[in-house]
Structure 1
């Protein structure tokens, strides 16, 4: 009897030692009312990201195209080659569309919010990885400051409320450089994280081409050159590292070659080289194009690296492995590699600036830490300041960005089309890429495209047919031509600078 009671007592002690509270320190802290700082960062980042996409509609020239490609992947289950309204679209490889496609597959209908949700989650992931970089190189205080700064950076806020592939590219670039930091710079080097460095570069390539490899590689080379010379490059295990980099790319390339031949692969590489080197590329701009946009997109933290420079008491030296000095050199290597590379490239758009945001947040975190050391009382104003910034971004979202985006959305156009022509034929006349993407996204099917007036004649007597026509300037003869063939205007909308007409031949 005593032995049985003793065994029960021992069993109770084992269960108590392995209680959920012991397994989950976070739950224990929640019970005591004390949250870990990284968890507060996660809550703050998720809150601001989810608020920033609430009530958003696909707008502009890019979002409907990206969402349309992603929904076509979800509907057809074809994830290897991006397709835009039934036609191959190989401006970029497919990986950037996959997260959006996954969320869109959760609903049989077209829900704009599901196209934005993965972008918000990816942005939160980028913030947490930036936190880990700062924590690994200097300490958790710098990592947390960098995470909160990145969360409230104006350019980062705007980028992650848009349905684009660029947030996924930024995620992989940041993840790759975290692998470099953890595998090469940390006191206890770990080859597994160097594998992450190369695999995440492959993810960047499969998202947006050569830029996904170029920025992490240039950052690593610049940092090694600045801190110890290229003789240290052998520590990156280039042999098996390059094999790891090429493995996912080769698997995708092999699948494309087997399905379509080598043509699509050359098109992807050509697109990357064309955007980088050709003055005739779309969005070609001069070298200095990013100067003012960079300053504006880094607000409200733009002056902080200057504060760091002003408060720097002595020159930056890496002897002795000073963590703060290494972080400054690493962040500058990243920031300058990205900014110079983007400036050299012919194609320039403000939304391409994403890769400069995390390194700038790391530099600003160091500057803020110096401010806290000089004036300790400012730490009591950090939480109120973050709340004020959150409220400012909420106001900008609801009162400035949302109204502007709804004026540039095709949602209302295709709601009219889907509600009145659910059984009739629908055609697009000389559509833009945005219209082609919006057509598949909202209608869930390939919509035939008519590229000249002669082909319209075959549809004059097609009962219940509808035409969606884009006009960038008043075109009275074209309008009269459609009306002479028995079509009348059912609806008309202005979407940005474009006028969209819906013609019908209903009697």
Structure 2
């Protein structure tokens, strides 16, 4: 392409082609900002604290046993068959473990952190595709600075990995709708990603992308787009991906048992959950809590999407809103509910809020004045929340964690300062810089939690520290057992197989058997059996883990 005397790019007609160059430069800058933000929020100090029960040590144990047994199809926990989850997340932990020399805190959490970073970049791409670049940027920053996202991107659990594959499939299915000429290959890619999502957490990995996309297509009465989604070759690829593991699993454990596990862990868990049971309105408070602080602006983000000046983006907002509603309804009807289940709707919610921020922060944009008026109520709520947290959090912290009081004050003051600065910018500079102030203040608050609060809580929990003391006192030739609470953490950090003792009767029966044996038991369970302990049982270690006291008992000889 020719250049003028100043070296500027020219098109074939000689006009200066600066718009495209500026757009590419802006995208590169956005990606750099988002990558640095993601690394700071998701990766910084990732392995600096212990694996916290219940999920983290259990998942790390499953991955470590997979490595030790060299069995990547049939999972185990404490040398017992483990059927709660499919294997993909544990494969990922093992992959990072190979790179790092073993399964530790870093290896266990890196799959979630990497998934969070990739989901952040995908949210940017989707927001830019639905609207424009600034909406993608602010939507991605909203996603990255939501409480639930930062927590799960730094947690050794499957939720962020599942969300990445769900989001990737949603992006491709949306692309098949907006670019039908590329639909066959794009849809095939989506079905492969849905297969990987299924290998991460079961058939929900298939249902969630379809729930996110199909309602909008049906509302638009685009039945041709719906038919394109169910491409036979795409479905075949999904079956190939999922059966590559499930077929081996079924062959190893028996087809009837494999189907029973599939039904039990998915259908029965949905219609009659055995834990985390909550009422149908659970997510009416749980979503705002997890999406904080941006839940303060979420209603006005929806209002922005349906504003008259956004009429040319009506399909985009319909897609985002139906995505959110479909997933909320699906999980609200489930008997078992947890806040992490609805993480796959966070990208859609983030883009809606990002659109409000982008319009309010652009003084010369069409509809910018109306968007700034819509931003004022969220700013008032933001300032009020910051003030409440700046006063209330230190007060609550002093009651139980006095050392956290200054940290709590900084968190509240950061949000308060960001809200006030943004309000001033909206009033005096037409909103320019206001969205960035909000995002920076939320990011600072979260980094303060990661850098200052988490280490203090970890010291209070004292899981690894006490486990190392227990390990040093265990008799290598003696049997070892623990009661249920934190069992997986004790097994992971002591490196010893532990027999599970979940009732007082089993505790007493274990201690009454002949031979040397050790038992790690919490104070509450020990009180239940202390009067009936067999002769020869002595306490060799006592320590505090969080608010609970633990005792290591030894039975050195037969009674």
TM over 0.5, shorter chain: yes
How far off its partner does 1:44 sit? 1.3
> Following the alignment from structure 2 to structure 1, what is the Cα–Cα distance between the partners of residues 241 and 103?
31
Residues 440 and 72 of structure 1: CA distance in aligned 2, closer, same or farther (over 3 Å): farther
Among candidates 476, 486, 490, match of residue 423 of structure 1? 476
How many corresponding residue pairs?
Answer: 465
User: Is the aligned partner of 1:492 residue 2:485?
Assistant: no
Among candidates 428, 431, 438, match of residue 378 of structure 1? 431
User: Is the aligned partner of 1:346 residue 2:335?
Assistant: yes
1:466 aligns to what?
518
Contact 1:173–1:355 under 8 Å retained in 2: yes
2:551 aligns to what?
501
1:43 aligns to what?
36
> Following the alignment from structure 2 to structure 1, what is the Cα–Cα distance between the partners of residues 159 and 458?
19
Residues 406 and 292 of structure 1: CA distance in aligned 2, closer, same or farther (over 3 Å): farther
Correspondence list, 1:282-321, <5 A = 282-311=275-304, 312-314=306-308
CA RMSD of aligned residues (A): 2.9
Contact 1:287–1:344 under 8 Å retained in 2: yes
How far off its partner does 1:126 sit? 1.0
1:56 aligns to what?
49
1:203 aligns to what?
196
How far off its partner does 1:68 sit? 1.4
Residues 34 and 164 of structure 1: CA distance in aligned 2, closer, same or farther (over 3 Å): closer
Question: Helix, strand or coil for the counterpart of 1:53?
Answer: coil
Deviations 1:5-51 (A, max 9, x none): xxxxxxxxxxxxxxxxxxxxxxx99xx99953212211111111123
Residues 105 and 448 of structure 1: CA distance in aligned 2, closer, same or farther (over 3 Å): farther
Among candidates 489, 493, 498, match of residue 447 of structure 1? 498
Contact 1:46–1:124 under 8 Å retained in 2: yes
1:185 aligns to what?
178
Contact 1:488–1:504 under 8 Å retained in 2: yes
Deviations 1:317-352 (A, max 9, x none): 6xxxx4x32221111121111111111111012222
Deviations 1:328-386 (A, max 9, x none): 11111211111111111110122223122111011111111221232674333444543
1:65 aligns to what?
58
> Following the alignment from structure 1 to structure 2, what is the Cα–Cα distance between the partners of residues 268 and 487?
45
Deviations 1:383-413 (A, max 9, x none): 4543332221122234444433554463233
2:353 aligns to what?
364
Of 263-272 and 119-128, deviating more is 263-272
Contact 2:331–2:337 under 8 Å retained in 1: yes
Contact 2:94–2:103 under 8 Å retained in 1: no
Of 240-249 and 263-272, deviating more is 263-272
Residues 303 and 390 of structure 1: CA distance in aligned 2, closer, same or farther (over 3 Å): closer
Question: Helix, strand or coil for the counterpart of 1:299?
Answer: coil
Q: What is the TM-score normalised by the length of structure 1?
A: 0.83
Of 379-388 and 144-153, deviating more is 379-388
Contact 2:120–2:143 under 8 Å retained in 1: yes
Q: Say which structure, 1 or 2, has more relative contact order (CA 8 Å, 6+ apart).
A: 1
Residues 315 and 484 of structure 1: CA distance in aligned 2, closer, same or farther (over 3 Å): farther
User: Is the aligned partner of 1:115 residue 2:108?
Assistant: yes
Question: Helix, strand or coil for the counterpart of 2:206?
Answer: helix
1:169 aligns to what?
162
> Following the alignment from structure 1 to structure 2, what is the Cα–Cα distance between the partners of residues 161 and 267?
29
2:319 aligns to what?
330
Among candidates 256, 269, 273, match of residue 263 of structure 2? 269
Residues 402 and 192 of structure 1: CA distance in aligned 2, closer, same or farther (over 3 Å): farther
Residues 449 and 59 of structure 1: CA distance in aligned 2, closer, same or farther (over 3 Å): same
Contact 2:94–2:107 under 8 Å retained in 1: no
> Following the alignment from structure 2 to structure 1, what is the Cα–Cα distance between the partners of residues 87 and 123?
25
Unaligned runs of 5+ in 1: 1-27
Deviations 1:125-161 (A, max 9, x none): 1111111212233332222221111111122112222
How far off its partner does 1:219 sit? 1.8
Residues 313 and 137 of structure 1: CA distance in aligned 2, closer, same or farther (over 3 Å): closer
Question: Helix, strand or coil for the counterpart of 1:488?
Answer: strand
Contact 2:47–2:105 under 8 Å retained in 1: no
Contact 1:60–1:408 under 8 Å retained in 2: no
1:101 aligns to what?
94
Q: What is the TM-score normalised by the length of structure 2?
A: 0.76
> Following the alignment from structure 2 to structure 1, what is the Cα–Cα distance between the partners of residues 161 and 292?
22
How far off its partner does 1:450 sit? 5.0
Unaligned runs of 5+ in 2: 1-20, 370-428
User: Is the aligned partner of 1:216 residue 2:222?
Assistant: no
Residues 404 and 268 of structure 1: CA distance in aligned 2, closer, same or farther (over 3 Å): farther
Question: Helix, strand or coil for the counterpart of 2:64?
Answer: helix
Question: Helix, strand or coil for the counterpart of 1:379?
Answer: coil
